[in-house]
Structure 1
Amino acid sequence: MADQIQRFIFDRADVRGEIAQLDAAYRQIIGRSEQSPAVQQLMGEGLVAAALLAATLKYPSALTLQLQSTGPLSLLLIQVGSDGTMRAMARTRGEVPANARLDEQASQGTLAITIEPEDGGERYQGIVDLSGGSLAAALEHYFAESEQLPTHVWLSADPERAAGLLLQRLPGPDGGPARDEDAWERAGQLAATVTGAELRELSADAVLHRLFHEEDIRLFEPSPLRFGCRCSRQRVADMLRSLGADELRETLAEQGQIQVHCDFCNEPYRFDAVDVEALCVDPTTRAAPSDTSH
């Protein structure tokens, strides 16, 4: 198994698809958090969902999938870059029930999908509810409402791997009728026979052969997916500086040092007394270089 996304199209029909599979990258991400198996499964589904969404974008963009609710799963946040780097975090209030509907795990929840073009173009956000009972159903609703594109999504995750399949009906050439009127329904019926274990354990080629061996399928070059966090000591320092000198010195006096863990990768950043004093210095008050010769 490889950490990658495989795009494909039906050569004689207006249908496209993607298979996203996560192996080592998924274990690396969930291994950095202390979450229950139920939450890890949701993180896995969210990671492949975000990868599938990002692969449908026309231009290089950063995509954020954010689920918020008043239920046991209060927050699920997934970020994927156009270079395939991804990270995830989750917050809970109480135990998240396993094998339950998503609208029970995240009651009164909403799913926000934010797209930020890397060229600085206009930011886009779409929001859907979780009434469909699963993350896959929420994504299908998102495409129907925001993109007006009929879409089927299948997601699966276990403690070792996560995978997903997306099928999408495209407009006919130049907006005309579809080249194969029955292809969309046929593709959906065939894809619906896939199991979660097959998605997770078979290669993308094997899954496509199992489902669509009687169709003319064209594969694109697979794109790698990997864990990558954007945290840094400088970013943490900037955050601490925004708290103000009084709060920083008070925290230092109480704890002896200030320690911050990244919510995504759990990397620790420690600041001792010397570091804190450096943060407390207003850069605008630092002495300018002397003109005196030595």
Structure 2
Amino acid sequence: MTDQLKKYLFEDHSTRAQAVKLTSAWQTGLAHQHYPECVRQLLGELVAASVLLTANIKFEGSLVLQLQGDGPVALIVVECNADLSIRATATLREGHDIPVDGTLQSLLNAHGQGRFIVVLDPGKKAPHMQPYQGIVPLEGATVAEVLELYMRNSEQLDTRLWLASNAEHCAGLLMQRLPNHGGTTATSAEAHESTWERAGHLASTLKTDELLALDTDTLIHRLFWEESLIAFEPQAVRWHCPCTRERVADMLRMLGRGEIESMLSEQDHIDIACNFCGKPYQFDAVDCAGLFVESANIAQPDRKSVH
């Protein structure tokens, strides 16, 4: 089964390993979005990273990761909810060419004003909790390096990431050193340090093509076959954008009948795409007339109920 996050814990509980590989969800996300290859790669890497990081957040909200740029790419944003439903998009700056060999820094930090933004939104289920936002300079040559620096400096967690993406898959591996709890002896602390260093050394042998080509079980076995790992139940990952035809219809009603009729006088239908996932919606003259018939019906009270 594809599109799963799998979590593992080293036997001494000092280090966690998590891996994700997305195919169906990634293909769904790209269905209505067409980006240059270098932009698509960055987007896919951020998608994989968001799933890996969200899996460790203990609340029912969402994690939003943003790469905000001052170059040819204005914004790359990914949202991952606690149930591991994801959506993602990229905004290209008009009038700017995207070079074939574009990199994270050349595309998003051309003038040194790029930012990496992390938002933790607890959602409506936790009204007493306020959203958290962290903003740091866009430092690092890759998405993985940006996130590693953020986790080390802002969250005080030693984290290693390997991320990869192409037109078919996006995938990632996370290694994280867990904090020591009370009662740790000098001997056990040394053993934990040894586990972390060994795990990092083994993971560093991972190649990009392996990350994209291998299923997660094969990947983990190939890297850590000599280690004793505790495996947890896999979690399904899916693509989900809340845009619907009904929401688009509500937006058109807000424009008003006059504006809609003006738009239809120039063309025989109205085309609208979700500004997040790019899914297209089309409304012809009959559809648009129906919008205001429905609206009028809603506005008119039921006379029988009045009397």
**Fold in common (TM above 0.5):** yes
1:113 CA displacement? 1.9
1:190 CA displacement? 1.5
In structure 1, what residue type is equivalent to 2:57?
A: L
1:114 CA displacement? 1.8
Distance 1:261 1:181 in 2: 51
Distance 1:58 1:99 in 2: 38
Distance 2:23 2:155 in 1: 30
1:285 CA displacement? 9.3
What per-residue deviation string (whole Å, max 9, x for no partner) do you get for residues 167-218 of structure 1?
Answer: 1111112374635222222211221111111111112222222222222211
Whether 1:31 aligns to 2:39 is no
State the TM-score, normalized to the length of structure 1: 0.88
Which position in structure 1 is the counterpart of 2:70? Answer: 70
CA spacing shift, 1:284–1:191, aligned 2, 3 Å: same
Which position in structure 1 is the counterpart of 2:177? Answer: 169
Q: Is the contact between residue 102 and residue 130 of structure 1 (CA under 8 Å) also seen in structure 2?
A: no
What per-residue deviation string (whole Å, max 9, x for no partner) do you get for residues 245-273 of structure 1?
Answer: 54333323323332211234433223344
Which position in structure 1 is the counterpart of 2:107? Answer: 105
* Aligned equivalent of 2:225, options 183, 208, 213: 213
Whether 1:151 aligns to 2:153 is no
What per-residue deviation string (whole Å, max 9, x for no partner) do you get for residues 224-259 of structure 1?
Answer: 112222111222223334445543333233233322
Distance 2:252 2:182 in 1: 54
Aligned residue runs from structure 1 range 67-216, under 5 A: 67-93=67-93, 94-107=96-109, 108-118=113-123, 119-120=125-126, 121-174=129-182, 176=184, 178=189, 180-216=192-228
1:148 CA displacement? 1.2
Q: Is the contact between residue 12 and residue 180 of structure 1 (CA under 8 Å) also seen in structure 2?
A: yes
User: Is 93-102 or 216-225 further displaced after alignment?
Assistant: 93-102
- Report % sequence identity: 40
Which position in structure 2 is the counterpart of 1:60? Answer: 60
User: Is 85-94 or 243-252 further displaced after alignment?
Assistant: 243-252
Q: Is the contact between residue 140 and residue 146 of structure 2 (CA under 8 Å) also seen in structure 1?
A: yes
Distance 1:95 1:265 in 2: 22
Distance 2:147 2:262 in 1: 46
Q: Is the contact between residue 38 and residue 102 of structure 2 (CA under 8 Å) also seen in structure 1?
A: no
Distance 2:61 2:90 in 1: 23
Aligned residue pair count: 294
In structure 2, what residue type is equivalent to 1:102?
A: L
Gaps of 5+ in 2: none
Whether 1:289 aligns to 2:305 is no
1:277 CA displacement? 5.2
Q: Is the contact between residue 67 and residue 77 of structure 2 (CA under 8 Å) also seen in structure 1?
A: yes
What per-residue deviation string (whole Å, max 9, x for no partner) do you get for residues 118-154 of structure 1?
Answer: 4234322222322212111111122123321111111
SS state at 1:145 partner? helix
1:16 CA displacement? 0.8
CA spacing shift, 1:128–1:279, aligned 2, 3 Å: farther
Which position in structure 2 is the counterpart of 1:7? Answer: 7
